Structure 1
């Protein structure tokens, strides 16, 4: 079973790699592994060991803590990966929801956002 922390770390690896304009192949070469392993890390399919995360952080020129930024403790403890798509932007329903959300006028969109936040706190 995929763990939400592994998915989060993988997304952060991908975000940083894209930001610095590095390919999966180049990152893999820097770290000394095959690019397919980078793919598995980025999707959360494989867990990144501490030493490998250290090497990836060095290659991407960030602190190891970067990969955990934005991760909330309650998400890591109480959320299952089944409730969060591994690639949110690859999920058609999520993308339709985002498009619809931004089609709503800004003042109404803010109210809808607050409603969604309240509903998620209750759930």
Structure 2
């Protein structure tokens, strides 16, 4: 897989997540990007790239989210300490797999269907 040019990706897909979805004032990198290492089992769009971001819900709840172009949040992980969340982001692998996320305690969300389906 070719090396991802992060700044070019961010510029191209800046509208990927609306401003309200990412807290840009946190002392943590919210433009952290990783490549999916097992695209056969986990399809992300575009180009098998996921974005990792950090949000705050209340005093002691820090939520790290992983999402792609179509689904801003695919899975998330809750931290009680900001330092722990920042350390986790800083030490993540550049290529992540669905198995790695599961092993590290991420909860996968139900991904909504993209179009209406008839129920018989």
TM-score over 0.5 for the pair: no
* More helix as a share of residues: 1
Which is bigger in relative contact order (C-alpha 8 A, separation at least 6)?
A: 1
Larger radius of gyration: 1
Shorter-chain TM-score: which interval?
A: under 0.3
* More strand as a share of residues: 2
- In the superposition, the TM-score normalised over structure 1's length comes to 0.23
